Structure 1
Amino acid sequence: MTDRFYEQDTVQCPYSYYQELREEQGVHQLEDEDVYLVTRHADADSVLSRVEEFSNKAGPGLRQKALMGAEAALPDAKYRVVRTLLTNDPPSHTRFRKLVARAFTARRVKALEPAMRAIVDGLIDAFPADGEIDFVRDFAKPLPLIVIADFLGVPRSDLDVFGKWSDDAAEVLGGTLTPERSRECQESLQELLGYFDEKIAQRKLKPADDFLTMLIEAVDKDEKPLTVQEMLAISYVTLVAGNETTVNMLSGMMLLLQQNPEALARLREDRSKIPTAVEEALRLETPVQGSVRLCKADTEIAGTPVPKGSRVLIVAGAANRDAAVFADPDRFDLDRENARAHLSFGKGIHLCLGATLSRQEGVIALEHLLDRLDAFDVPAGFTPRYKDNAVLRSLISMPLHVRKAAS
């Protein structure tokens, strides 16, 4: 059964497959691979908590071997991504997290709200008064990209190339990569790191009120600043993590509203349920379906032996639909009391630093869409299609007929 993990039918709709895995055993080894899938909520929660046994240095995706080959084919590569947040362990990870967390406090994220609302309104302004849009292209993709570009402190005029770099980085996580495509992604990464290198050099000469300046000025308890390599790695992770996951969350939320018109009607009447709608979107259409850990010693997960050196994929997309935790787990439920028990942002020391920012984007987006649009409907017969990526749940497009509310 586990050889279906990368199949197109599974990528397009993995949930019945996940259910089979959960019901059969919960922990499964992919055939011909050193990868173990963890699909039950309790087991996934346990692995996320066992940080001394399961290292985060496995890398963020499953298919790095092709990329490593491409990396070797770039002998003159100027930059490399050092371990900081995403693929690191304590005590080094702890240092970086403390330094970067200062930019993601609840107070700082709340301060971004007026700018976020202006961005959302600007995107809706561009919609026709009564006509067709592509929700992914015209709203879900530009919103987080603009927010994260402003947060980092880079010009909006560079958004198109930023989007390309982010998409290329995301493809490595679980996409089907040819050697040629792997090399292209590696070259794209070099361009991205070179871009940030130039921006950091500019900020050293002319500081601003942005994330890049904060990285330059950050020092730890021993008064040790970040190196340029470390700043480049953190900027890269912030761009990709802050963009791709929120795109998928926004797209998934709109899809669920189309599939659940009674919930949409209720949200129009009761805006207090919007935060739960965001959480249910994160749970049901988990933006990042899984995260990888490296087994540091022979151990077991729920009675299944896992050898040292194996990679473990914590399949949040499966754990988030576990009936042992979520009653009627496949239902989009605006009254679900434990909606935030999902694992879409991880847990513990690796809980996503941008979780509050992403949630705020989701809430503001839905508030303004409901306020300013009398209707937004997919055409009859619409079938969602996702990118060929077993880790990222990325909707390719979503046509919508929109009708603006009277001013």
Structure 2
Amino acid sequence: MTDPFYKSETVHCPYPYYAELRQQDPVHRLEGEDVFLVTQHADCERVLAEPEVYSNKAGPGLRQSELMGTAKAPEDSPYRVVRTLLTNDPPSHTRYRKLVAKAFSARRVAAMEPKIRALADELIDTFPADGKLDFVRDFARPLPLTVIADFLGVPRSDLGIFRKWSDDAAEVLGGTLTPERSKECHDSLQELLGYFDQRLAERRLQPSEDFLGLLLDARVGGERPLTTEEMLSISYVTLVAGNETTVNLLSSMMLLLLRNPDQLARVRADHSKIPVAVEEALRMEAPVQGSMRRAKQDTELAGRHIPEGSRVLIVSGSANRDPEVFADADRFDVDRTNPRSHLSFGKGIHFCLGAALSRLEGTVALEHLLARLDSIEVDPDFVPSYQDNAVLRSLRSLPVHVRKESA
């Protein structure tokens, strides 16, 4: 892995590299790999809009073979991940998506809002008396993990092991793993799938109205129930997608606001700007920097020949800063007029099902933080550090000092 894309300095701050590619090599072939990075907004939209040309059966990340059932797993592995939502194409994908979309309906998401608000307040209540905390550890991580656990129907007492399973799955998507670490992540996935298998067995005996209960009642194409393998795979994808991406959103949003105090002041003075602040965080620091496709046929993109079978990474982290679409694209601007033109949730048939829930969590979190905290500050010498992952934009920590609302 010698391409600059994988270097630690690029992972830490990929945007100058993206800008160079957009200008000089907008469809860039990774050195030594049959993988093309698509960096301009218009080209990314084209790939997303043409599932008949660019298959989603390419895996969710750069190292997806470590998790996907398409790769040969050790013979003693009792579980495998099958194609349902994340790495699937129509017509099969269409049927699964229709089933799962019911769980993310506007009504069901809205019904979760009171719990999210209560959870945000509970977390703020635990902030230490001296006001010193790690925002990632003490707020950005526990909020979405608890929300998705409640959604799935998992007891909060299991949140610790759930975080480990989710983090291990996320690491595979874009990290550089040693063979030993790869084996650990595979074993972790087996534990996660086994856990969901047990929870499904419990719900067969005692039905529930949570997500796992919904899966047991679902019918594919109105004809047959989901198999256990299908339910386990959907549950796994829902956990990882519903947790890791929103952790990254909350962390990045807070860092962007703290680094742009004028914008923070505008949002604090006018809470109607909170939704735009959420969208700007999604745009400027895409929680998932890219999503993979595979060319079904020889094709051409921005003058570059893409051979059949090649993998194509839609680099939303670059598209979101394309000056052809976003004026002053590197500026965090809560008055931006086209904030939702970003591609962080994808577009078309694979648009993120959990987008509304993630946006709700970001909005509620910021509302409560601004209402409950008179001030929040970061050390001016703080240097952000990110997980060694070229796909997920994961801030390791964010030490801050807060002062709670005046008595």
The equivalent residue for 1:360 is 360
Please report how far the alpha carbon of residue 65 of structure 1 lies from its aligned counterpart in structure 2 after TM superposition.
5.0
Give how far 1:64 is off.
3.6
What's the counterpart of residue 227 of structure 2?
A: 227
Q: Which moved more, 1:57-66 or 1:349-358?
A: 57-66
Which piece of structure 1 moves more, 287-296 or 65-74? 65-74
Q: Residues 251 and 395 of structure 2 are in contact (CA less than 8 Å); yes or no, is this contact kept in structure 1?
A: yes
Kindly provide the amino acid, as one letter, of the partner of residue 339 in structure 2.
A
Contact 2:68 2:81 in 1 (8 A): no
In structure 2, distance between residues paired with 1:152 and 1:358: 15
Match of 1:36 in 2: 36
Q: Which residue of 2 aligns with 1:346?
A: 346
CA apart distance, 1:379: 1.4
Q: What CA distance in whole angstroms lies between the structure 1 residues aligned with 2:398 and 2:177?
A: 25
Identity of aligned residues (%): 69
What letter corresponds to residue 300 of structure 1 in structure 2?
A: E
Shift of 1:107: 1.3
Partner amino acid, structure 2, of 1:39: T
- Report deviation, 1:223: 3.1
Cα distance, 1:160–1:70 mapped onto 2, change above 3 Å: farther
Question: In 1, are the aligned partners of 2:192 and 2:236 still within 8 Å (CA)?
Answer: yes
Residue in 1 that maps onto 2:382: 382
Residue in 2 aligned with 1:99?
Answer: 99
Report Cα offsets for 1:240-285 as digits up to 9, x if no partner. Answer: 0000000000000001001100011111110000000000000001
Verify: 1:203 aligned to 2:203, yes or no.
yes
Contact 2:66 2:186 (C-alpha < 8 Å) held by counterparts: no
Q: Alpha carbons of 1:69 and 1:45: their partners in 2 closer, same or farther (altered >3 Å)? A: closer
State the match for 2:281 in structure 1. Answer: 281
Equivalent pair of 1:70/1:186 in contact (CA under 8 Å): no
Aligned counterparts of 2:277 and 2:222: Cα–Cα separation in 1: 43
Provide the C-alpha distance between the structure 2 equivalents of 1:69 and 1:202, rounded to a whole number of angstroms: 25
Contact 1:134 1:400 in 2 (8 A): yes
Distance in 2 (CA, whole Å) between partners of 1:30 and 1:81 is 27
Asked if 1:369 corresponds to 2:369, the answer is yes
Residue 75 of structure 1: CA displacement? 1.5
Cα distance in 2 between the residues matched to 1:367 and 1:161:
29
Deviation string for 1:198-233 (max 9, x for gaps)?
000101111122100011111244332111111000
TM-score, normalised via structure 2 length: 0.98
| Matching of residue 79 in structure 1 with residue 103 in structure 2 | no
Secondary structure at the counterpart of residue 5 of structure 1 = helix
Say if 1:373 and 1:402, in contact at 8 Å, map to a contact too.
yes
**Which letter maps to 2:393?**
R
Q: Number of matched residues?
A: 407
For structure 2, the residue ranges without an aligned partner over 5 or more in a row are none
2:327 paired with 1:327: yes
SS of the counterpart of 1:313?
strand
Distance 2:341 2:69 in 1: 39
The SS at the match of 2:219 is coil
The root-mean-square deviation of aligned C-alpha atoms, in Å, is 1.6
C-alpha deviation, 1:67, in angstroms = 6.1
**Secondary structure of the structure 2 residue equivalent to 1:321:** coil
Which stretch of structure 1 is more off in the superposition, 361-370 or 2-11?
A: 2-11
Give the Cα–Cα distance (whole angstroms) in 2 for the partners of residues 310 and 248 of structure 1: 29
1:124 match: secondary structure: helix
Name the CA distance, whole Å, in 2 between partners of 1:201 and 1:56. 31
- Evaluate the alpha carbon distance shift between residue 327 and residue 294 of structure 1 in structure 2; reply closer, same or farther with a 3 A threshold: same
> Counterpart of 2:355 in structure 1: which amino acid?
A
Q: Provide the residue aligned with 1:134 in structure 2.
A: 134
2-structure distance, mates of 1:21, 1:252: 24
Task: Output the amino acid matched with 1:197.
Answer: D
Structure 1: state its 5+ residue gaps: none
Asked whether the 8 Å contact 2:85–2:234 carries over to 1, the reply is yes
